[in-house]
């Protein structure tokens, strides 16, 4: 389940393939708004969500990505007149997420929106919601058995990996070795990012993959792994950190080794720490997701389902990414996509 087929190929908006570095400006300009489904428009937002309670369970509550998703979902719920419940754990783990999901089942919300922390472990509790006739929509991450889901919404993670590889390749003049610093196997989003990156690198005959590391969400471990990679592979020209922690550790280790500007780092997500490193040139490119769009779409689809507009809900949605570089890091058309660090809702 490590490639784009996990999510299908339904793309939220029509997209024209552009070079990775050029995509930042063009995509940011064309994808700034959040579309409203025809059903929500037709029925009138004031009455759409009456007596509807939607529970949103993020991967974790403290991450700016999910805070931004919460903001998008809350705004859409307010527009549609629905009540939104936001509950989750403080670590990205089934151990902390499962008690939250089980406790919400007892409250019997109208719908469940969830970013599953494991493709297998969350199947059973989601199955219980389905048996209780509570529709479930996955956001960001998903589960292996997608037949249980009304819809699954995620960033185009495979494409994001491709963009990261294409950008590093261009910066390195299409020669040298690269590495991936991932989190753990079994997470749908980062699995897809890695798969996209590896597939794209294969297109360059003078480039190869030196290693794939797993940092267990630890920037300290990622830094140690990067230090070893720099020593072991003298032809190393790039590292792809599939999330905040891998990119942080890789970027800092490369700067400490005096390789800044020689070994390029592609990162995922516009967290404050990553944005800072991007502006400093420690990280050279960011693939930015649109979590607010994911949250808004999920709320809208839930309301559509509950108000008899099931035919308008796509089974799978891939939200395009925004690509930023150090050169565009202060461009307002890019900065508007940087993630929130707080939301009072």
CATH code given to domain 34-140+292-308: 3.40.50.2300
Rounded to whole angstroms, the Cα distance separating 147 from 222 reads 36
Q: Which residues contact 165 (CB under 8 A, 6 or more apart)?
A: 178, 196, 197, 198, 199, 200, 201, 240, 266
pLDDT at 135: 98
Q: Is 286 helix (H, G, I), strand (E, B) or coil?
A: strand
Strand 322-325 to 285-288 pairing: antiparallel
CATH code given to domain 157-288: 3.40.50.2300
Q: Are 34-140+292-308 and 157-288 equal in CATH topology?
A: yes
- Structure-derived torsion over alpha carbons of residues 329, 333, 336, 339, reported in degrees to the nearest 10: -40
Phi, psi angles (nearest 5°) of residue 174: 60, 35
Q: Which residues contact 70 (CB under 8 A, 6 or more apart)?
A: 56, 58, 86, 295, 343, 345
Q: Is 301 helix (H, G, I), strand (E, B) or coil?
A: helix
Helices (H), 172-290: 188-201, 219-232, 244-256, 272-280
Which one-letter DSSP state was computed for residue 212?
Answer: E
pLDDT at 48: 57
pLDDT at 213: 96
Our CA angle for 177, 172, 214, nearest 5°, is: 40
Neighbours of 50 (CB within 10 A): 12
Q: Which residues contact 91 (CB under 8 A, 6 or more apart)?
A: 60
Could you state, in order of their start, the residue ranges of all structural domains in the chain? 34-140+292-308, 157-288
Helices (H) and strands (E) in the chain, counts: 13, 12
pTM: 0.78
Terminal-to-terminal C-alpha distance of the chain? 35
The tens-digit pLDDT sequence of the chain (345 residues) is 233 333 333 333 332 222 333 333 332 322 333 333 434 444 444 455 569 999 999 999 999 999 999 999 999 999 999 999 999 999 999 999 999 999 999 999 999 999 999 999 999 999 999 999 999 999 999 999 999 999 999 999 999 999 999 999 999 999 999 999 999 998 888 999 999 999 999 999 999 999 999 999 899 999 999 999 999 999 999 999 998 888 889 999 999 999 998 999 999 999 898 899 899 998 999 999 999 999 999 999 999 999 999 999 999 999 999 999 998 999 999 999 999 999 987
Cα atoms in the Cβ-side hemisphere of radius 13 Å centred on 65: 23
- H/E stretch holding 123: helix 123-131
Longest distance between any two alpha carbons in the chain, whole Å? 63
């Amino acid at each position: 389940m490590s490639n784009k087929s996990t999510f299908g190929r339904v793309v939220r908006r029509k997209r024209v393939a552009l070079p990775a570095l050029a995509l930042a400006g063009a995509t940011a300009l064309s994808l700034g708004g959040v579309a409203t489904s025809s059903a929500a428009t037709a029925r009138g937002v004031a009455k759409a969500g009456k007596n509807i309670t939607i529970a949103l369970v993020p991967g974790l509550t403290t991450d700016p990505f999910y805070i931004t998703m919460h903001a998008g979902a809350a705004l859409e719920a307010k527009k549609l007149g629905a009540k939104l419940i936001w509950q989750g754990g403080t670590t990205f783990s089934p151990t902390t997420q499962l008690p939250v999901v089980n406790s919400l089942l007892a409250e019997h919300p109208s719908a469940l929106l969830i970013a599953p922390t494991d493709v297998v472990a969350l199947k059973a509790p989601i199955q219980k919601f389905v048996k209780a006739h509570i529709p479930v929509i996955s956001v960001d991450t998903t589960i292996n058995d997608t037949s249980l889901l009304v819809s699954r919404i995620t960033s185009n993670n495979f494409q994001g990996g491709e963009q990261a590889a294409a950008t590093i390749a261009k910066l390195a003049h299409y020669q040298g070795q690269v590495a991936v610093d991932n989190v753990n196997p079994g997470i749908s989003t980062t699995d897809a990012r890695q798969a996209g990156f590896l597939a794209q690198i294969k297109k360059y005959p003078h480039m190869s993959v030196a290693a794939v590391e797993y940092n267990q969400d630890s920037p300290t471990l990622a830094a140690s792994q990067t230090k070893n990679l720099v020593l072991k592979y003298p032809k190393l020209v790039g590292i792809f950190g599939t999330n905040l922690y891998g990119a942080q550790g890789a970027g800092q280790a490369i700067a400490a080794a005096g390789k800044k500007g020689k070994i390029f780092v592609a990162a995922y997500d516009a967290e404050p720490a990553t944005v800072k490193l991007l502006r400093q040139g420690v990280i050279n490119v960011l693939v930015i997701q649109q979590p607010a769009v994911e949250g808004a779409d999920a709320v809208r689809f839930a309301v559509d389902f509950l108000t008899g507009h099931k035919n308008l809900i796509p089974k799978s949605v891939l939200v395009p990414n925004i690509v930023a570089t150090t050169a565009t890091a202060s461009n307002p058309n890019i900065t508007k996509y940087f993630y929130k660090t707080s939301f009072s809702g």
